[in-house]
Structure 1
Amino acid sequence: MLTEEPAARPATGLTSAQVAERVARGQVNDVPVRSSRSTVDIIRANVLTRFNAIIGVLFAIILVVGPIQDGLFGFVIIANTGIGIVQELRAKRTLDNLAVIGEARPSVRRDGRSVQVPTDQIVLDDVVELGPGDKVVVDGTIVEADNLEIDESLLTGEADPVVKQVGDPVMSGSFVVAGGGSFAATKVGREAYAAQLAEEASRFTLVHSELRSGIDTILRYTIYMMIPAATGLIISQLFVESSDFEEAIRRMVAGIVPMVPEGLVLLTSVAFAIGVIRLGRKQCLVQELPAIEGLARVDVVCLDKTGTLTEGGMDVSEIRPLGGADEPYAREILAALGDSDPRPNASLQAIIEECPADESSRWLTGDALPFSSARKYSGARLTGPDNRTESWLLGAPDVLLPPDAPELTETDDLNAQGLRVLLLARATRDLHDPAVTDDTEPVALVILEQRLRPDAADTLRYFADQNVAAKVLSGDNAVSVGAVAGKLDLPGADTPVDARRLPDDKNEMGKAIERGAVFGRVTPQQKRDMVGALQARGHDVAMTGDGVNDVLALKDADIGVAMGSGSEATKSVAQIVLLNNSFATLPSVVAEGRRVIGNIERVATLFLTKTVYSVLIAILVIIWQVPYPFLPRHLTLLSAFTIGIPAFFLALAPNKERAKPRFVSRVIRYAMPAGLIAGAATFVCYLLARAHYTGPDDLDAETSAATLTLFLIAMWVLVIVARPYTWWRVALVATMAAGFLVVMITPVLQEFFRLRLVGLTMPLTAAAIAACAAVLLELAWHVVSRRFPA
């Protein structure tokens, strides 16, 4: 459908009737930006798994041959899957609510007024206003430009901002770094250039996670072990128990079910989901779920000073005239500069509040140059009472003055006190001359006080205690930044580094950054380079920030953390958004990540140990051509007390251990020997029981002895995995042991589970074998810990 040409679109925007007409035609930005999977996707992902399919078939077989006691594993899977669905739905609700809070609401012009609307209510031909930090949410054409500079690096990879004029195109996914203006929407919805990218970037997802990838690898290994073992077991049991087909089926199912680590995936999803819920209560929006574990692996966190260590607002503490100028004159110029910028940053806003413009001003504002992090200054052409037009600059003294300028000595003294200093200077060249900072005439120093975040010191202390190095990267003067960091007791703050003196070589830059803690005069591109240099030296880097100068570094960092009050561009590329703007929330995110990763490693060890001993017992049964020693109900009981219930509590418990790499190898190193020891010891006890009990109906007694042996050994694996001990972990292990004891001594439960310990010889033998196995388990743990230290 044809629309008006860009030049014909009025800057006043559309009328309500025109908006309604376009909505009726479907010309609306209807891209479904979701913060989470749909309910149908969640249910499908939790129900339709390959392991649920395997368990479901085996459960159906048991329902046919009976009794129902041997099908308990099926009900456990149903309950576990239900828990997984409920928890993920709770996480979805939390994420969706937080996404609404943090959703971008661009300003559009309708009926001649500027109004804020959700992105999905923008229609074709809407006039969308742009300011520093605003993200371009749909494609369009510029209709107004006031020194407008747009960064398209997220789309094109080119880091240099692009100056936009009226009639130039803009693409969704780019963002404003300086100036302002407006554009008319020419493509909305799925037609917009970055619509699909934006949709994918904001979804709740479990992909690209080292933890999830590791678990997938474990499951793949499990299948490789299961298939031949299960096939051989089926043939073996049908041959050995040919006189009792139903008993053969039950024993065969009992051998296959424990090979499936079905609860591992479930508990991982539940742990992540509960992490999202916990962080959501603290107003922390996790835009990509693996960010929880990613931040737990971080060993360097790069901080932008403004908005992170300090609050966004500032106060002018003094205006100090230079070179014979008087303060009222400087205040008039500052008021005019403030009036020339329709979108002032925090520094200029403080100046405007201190030096407000009034109608009696003798200065007229002309062309303006908005502040840019790359330039470190802003400016304007001002016409004075004598009708003479001059260029005025306001920015960093060490950028606007030569290195030997005497004023810099005074500036350094102020910076050393943690004050922020701007220089008001008259330029002798044209405002847009690349050399406009040459031969400037200093007129006044504007001294600003920054407001420290009350929680910043405790947060930095937390990172130091956790061996996470904090690096402050700021565009401000290095001495000033160092003074601010020193007030927060950041180690290394007394030796700030001017980033302009950093080496260009990536490796040498990385070494310099490792040595230092505070870096000033860092450009946006340098922030990106510094993050890359640290990553090249093997560090996992998190970057926090709130301004457009942080976007490139946030995008490249392993984990990007944005403040909720930050620019839309910043929030769009960050994996984590702190909606409460509290830097103190970061330790909670780190703690959640460590809890998830550390605890899932414990849980995975339990599950994989069970898989290994199940496969080994099946292989030994095939070789010896004997009935499988367990019924499904026995292994359901064992799994519940030694894995299922303990794993649930262990997976959700606090854990402050720093996340370590090589998840799969770390789990296999102990689970493999532990599983082999458990399987071999259990089978030895089973063979001894078969030799001891010689009656034709003694299979239950043989099974009971093997069950007791396996329970005791599996409990010792739990004892090892649960370390270091706390009162609740000791209570958990004791409760599981007591639960099994109740089953063994209660007649009704003995009958239900077909457990019958006959005499004292075999129970004592089972305990002795389990004790020997426990010694071997401890030895294996010692060897693994010594050979592969954390």
Structure 2
Amino acid sequence: LEGRYEPKQYEAIDEIRFSSERKFSAAKIVIDGKVHIYYMGALSSLGPHMGDTSRIEELVSNYSSKGLRTVLFAESVSDVELESDSDIPELRPLAVFAIEDEVRPDCRETIDVFLKNNMDLKVISGDDPATVDALFTIANIPGERKIVSGDRLAELGSKRQEASDRLASVKSGVADGKTTPELEAVQEEFRQADKEYVDCILETNIFGRMKPDQKEEVIDTLRANGRYVTMVGDGVNDVKSLKKANVSVALESGSGAARGVADMVLVKDNFSALPKALVEGKRTVSGMRNILKIYISRNLVLAILIAMSLIFLNRAPFNPMQNMYYSLFAVGLSAFFMSFWAKPSDNSELVLPKVLRYALPTAFTISIFGLLIMAVFDYLMLEGIFTFDGYDQYGVEQAASGLVVLFLTFCGIFQLLVVDPHFRIFSIDGEVHKDWKPLALMVLLSVTSLLVYNLDASCTLMSIPAIPFWLQLSMIGLAIVWLFVQHITLKWNKFTFMEDALESWYLKFLNKNLQKENERFKESHSS
């Protein structure tokens, strides 16, 4: 208009803004004193209001097969009032616009990461399903594609709703707890309609010509059937769907409303960040699992040793400063560095049962060794079988505590060989990691902890009397013996009953919570 007419020759006097619900927009414009009403939108919305559309349908089909989005431009043949809820008048087609979407170069690589991790990919679009299907072909995305349109999904939804209404009507005429042939027939009809609707959503991976409320229905149905859903959207019409997903992702270029409700925002609309986030999540879980093995083992050792030594020896196994030394070298420094070099893994097993399968036998064997060291050292010293100058009864107890702390510390350090195995001999499941950093850290911690242990200031701080170096080396030797005992214990199938029992309880607990969440979603979906 601006290129053909002067500003005073035309005037826009009314409009209907585009919405995903109606899938068209309209404008009433006065040009040279004559009223024109133009419509622009999808063929599915405007086509029924035209005459013969065979040529237009051929054009749209041809463009769609090439992955091009299409918009129909038409003019009303009569002067009507423009209202958002008014009927579309008879239209005369003027043009079909084809819009090309750019397929990102990293599209195939990004989607491959999701598919390799057994994730279902579903595209919910307002565009023609054939266009989305063609884009998949252009991007060379593998896998079988099952396509459904919003109209077909609406038909299935209406069929289910009608069956639900009939079921409610029949139930209202039947006493509670009673059944009739009619009620059974209607119940079966509803089950079939519900199954057809749900199966359509679960099995379809390309949804086209979808309205905003249908996007919500898809998310609700997926979650109600136990799926963990991530939704990516950018428009205002995606906000409700984003809020209903387990994880919501918005684009930086998207609407402020979408960014406001999203859990993640893709800076520069970079979709390749999603696989990186997935890999980082797997790396985090792997690192957390290995750190928990050492951390929970330490906590269980402290609990068992303190309880047993108070019961049988009538004293604490060590003082707080000795515990700090043990925690620093056996857990703190190891966990700090392990968080940096953790590698992503499949993580198909539950974390907690796997951790406790390792921690319980490990803590049990360490505690037995520790109690034996304290008991044997006390007995030998107090019976005078061998003595050290300057050791009174208190000194004997402190020396025993010091030896136990040294043994515990090296047990914690040596666990790096098992938790992140570099050698197959120490691997429980046969897997080994070629990374040399855990091995180097073990050597560094061993040397450093021994040096710190023999500093006068450290001995004073921890209240440890001077312990002969050969006795310190014997504790390291016992830690090596324990390492092989632990390895045998972990591979001994007699302990798997604990993991199985815990995993069974944990799965029941998770399933119970998941069922409650799904029931809430079903209630909200049905309402």
- Report the TM-score, using the length of structure 1 for normalisation: 0.50
Cα 1:766/1:382, change in 2 over 3 Å: closer
Task: Tell me what 2:186 maps to.
Answer: none
Q: Distance in 1 between matches of 2:454 and 2:488?
A: 27
> Relative to structure 2, which stretch is displaced further, 472-481 or 709-718?
709-718
- For the 8 Å contact 1:500–1:521, the answer to whether it is kept is yes
- For the 8 Å contact 2:416–2:439, the answer to whether it is kept is no
- Name the amino acid aligned to 1:523: K
- For the 8 Å contact 1:459–1:583, the answer to whether it is kept is yes
Cα 1:514/1:667, change in 2 over 3 Å: same
Which of 496, 500, 513 lines up with 1:783 in the alignment?
496
Cα 1:673/1:749, change in 2 over 3 Å: same
Say whether 1:374 aligns with 2:21. Answer: yes
**How many angstroms does 1:574 deviate by?**
1.1
Task: Tell me what 2:41 maps to.
Answer: 395
Q: Distance in 2 between matches of 1:361 and 1:658?
A: 68
**How many angstroms does 1:373 deviate by?**
1.0
Q: Distance in 2 between matches of 1:571 and 1:765?
A: 58
**How many angstroms does 1:714 deviate by?**
2.4
Which of 467, 479, 485 lines up with 1:756 in the alignment?
467
- For the 8 Å contact 1:596–1:652, the answer to whether it is kept is no
**How many angstroms does 1:420 deviate by?**
1.0
Q: Distance in 1 between matches of 2:495 and 2:416?
A: 15
**How many angstroms does 1:496 deviate by?**
3.5
Percent identical among aligned pairs is 25
Cα 1:783/1:518, change in 2 over 3 Å: same
Task: Tell me what 1:564 maps to.
Answer: 252
Which of 731, 736, 756 lines up with 2:440 in the alignment?
731
Q: Distance in 1 between matches of 2:22 and 2:38?
A: 15
Cα 1:580/1:785, change in 2 over 3 Å: farther
- Name the amino acid aligned to 2:486: A
- For the 8 Å contact 2:357–2:496, the answer to whether it is kept is no
**How many angstroms does 1:547 deviate by?**
1.1
- For the 8 Å contact 2:330–2:410, the answer to whether it is kept is no
Say whether 1:627 aligns with 2:315. Answer: yes
| Counterpart secondary structure, 2:268 | coil
Task: Tell me what 1:469 maps to.
Answer: 120
Say whether 1:531 aligns with 2:223. Answer: no
Q: Distance in 1 between matches of 2:47 and 2:139?
A: 30
Q: Distance in 1 between matches of 2:413 and 2:468?
A: 19
Say whether 1:721 aligns with 2:432. Answer: no
**How many angstroms does 1:521 deviate by?**
0.9
Cα 1:620/1:367, change in 2 over 3 Å: same
Q: Distance in 2 between matches of 1:658 and 1:784?
A: 24
Q: Distance in 1 between matches of 2:492 and 2:413?
A: 16
Task: Tell me what 1:521 maps to.
Answer: 209
Q: Map of 1:58-207 to 2, 5 A cutoff?
A: none
Deviations 1:256-295 (A, max 9, x none): xxxxxxxxxxxxxxxxxxxxxxxxxxxxxxxxxxxxxxxx
Deviations 1:159-178 (A, max 9, x none): xxxxxxxxxxxxxxxxxxxx
Cα 1:603/1:613, change in 2 over 3 Å: same
- Name the amino acid aligned to 1:416: S
Aligned length: 436
| Counterpart secondary structure, 2:249 | strand
Deviations 1:524-576 (A, max 9, x none): 11111111111112222111121112111111111211122211111111122
**How many angstroms does 1:396 deviate by?**
0.7
Task: Tell me what 2:449 maps to.
Answer: 740
Q: Distance in 2 between matches of 1:766 and 1:628?
A: 21
**How many angstroms does 1:455 deviate by?**
3.6
Q: Distance in 2 between matches of 1:483 and 1:462?
A: 21
- Name the amino acid aligned to 1:715: I
Which of 580, 583, 586 lines up with 2:274 in the alignment?
586
Cα 1:486/1:441, change in 2 over 3 Å: same
Deviations 1:325-370 (A, max 9, x none): xxxxxxxxxx5xxx8xxxxxxxxxxxxxxxx665279654331111
Say whether 1:448 aligns with 2:146. Answer: no
Q: Map of 1:318-329 to 2, 5 A cutoff?
A: none
**How many angstroms does 1:780 deviate by?**
7.4
Q: Distance in 1 between matches of 2:123 and 2:92?
A: 32
Task: Tell me what 1:552 maps to.
Answer: 240
- Name the amino acid aligned to 1:775: I
- For the 8 Å contact 1:509–1:533, the answer to whether it is kept is no
- Name the amino acid aligned to 1:489: N
- For the 8 Å contact 1:750–1:756, the answer to whether it is kept is no
Q: Map of 1:427-438 to 2, 5 A cutoff?
A: 427=76, 430=80, 431-432=82-83, 434=85, 436-437=87-88
Say whether 1:772 aligns with 2:481. Answer: no
- For the 8 Å contact 1:459–1:587, the answer to whether it is kept is yes
Say whether 1:698 aligns with 2:396. Answer: yes
Q: Distance in 2 between matches of 1:484 and 1:718?
A: 49
- Name the amino acid aligned to 2:407: T
- Name the amino acid aligned to 1:711: T
- Unmatched tracts of structure 2, length 5 or more: 161-193, 385-392, 422-431, 508-527
Cα 1:748/1:382, change in 2 over 3 Å: closer
Deviations 1:217-261 (A, max 9, x none): xxxxxxxxxxxxxxxxxxxxxxxxxxxxxxxxxxxxxxxxxxxxx
Task: Tell me what 2:334 maps to.
Answer: 646
Say whether 1:573 aligns with 2:261. Answer: yes
The higher relative CO (CA closer than 8 Å, separation ≥ 6) is in 1
Cα 1:510/1:671, change in 2 over 3 Å: farther
Query: Greater share of helix residues, 1 or 2?
Result: 2
**How many angstroms does 1:650 deviate by?**
2.0
| Counterpart secondary structure, 1:401 | helix
**How many angstroms does 1:610 deviate by?**
1.5
**How many angstroms does 1:476 deviate by?**
0.7
> Relative to structure 2, which stretch is displaced further, 624-633 or 537-546?
624-633
Q: Distance in 1 between matches of 2:440 and 2:12?
A: 75
Q: Distance in 1 between matches of 2:419 and 2:312?
A: 32
| Counterpart secondary structure, 1:671 | helix
- For the 8 Å contact 2:370–2:408, the answer to whether it is kept is yes
Bigger Cα Rg = 2
Structural RMSD (CA): 3.6
Task: Tell me what 1:707 maps to.
Answer: 405
| Counterpart secondary structure, 1:583 | coil
Task: Tell me what 2:67 maps to.
Answer: 418
**How many angstroms does 1:392 deviate by?**
2.1
| Counterpart secondary structure, 1:586 | helix
Deviations 1:300-343 (A, max 9, x none): xxxxxxxxxxxxxxxxxxxxxxxxxxxxxxxxxxx5xxx8xxxx
Cα 1:452/1:689, change in 2 over 3 Å: same
**How many angstroms does 1:615 deviate by?**
1.0
**How many angstroms does 1:623 deviate by?**
1.7
- Name the amino acid aligned to 2:135: V
Deviations 1:645-671 (A, max 9, x none): 011122344442366796555544543
- Name the amino acid aligned to 2:327: S
Q: Distance in 2 between matches of 1:533 and 1:635?
A: 52
Cα 1:778/1:709, change in 2 over 3 Å: farther
Q: Distance in 2 between matches of 1:655 and 1:511?
A: 37
- Unmatched tracts of structure 1, length 5 or more: 1-334, 340-355
Which of 366, 376, 388 lines up with 1:688 in the alignment?
376
**How many angstroms does 1:451 deviate by?**
2.5
- Name the amino acid aligned to 1:526: Q
Cα 1:762/1:582, change in 2 over 3 Å: closer
- Name the amino acid aligned to 1:776: T
- For the 8 Å contact 2:24–2:40, the answer to whether it is kept is yes
Q: Distance in 1 between matches of 2:495 and 2:42?
A: 59
Cα 1:521/1:361, change in 2 over 3 Å: farther
| Counterpart secondary structure, 1:693 | helix
Query: Greater share of strand residues, 1 or 2?
Result: 1
**How many angstroms does 1:602 deviate by?**
2.9
**How many angstroms does 1:750 deviate by?**
6.3
**How many angstroms does 1:733 deviate by?**
2.7
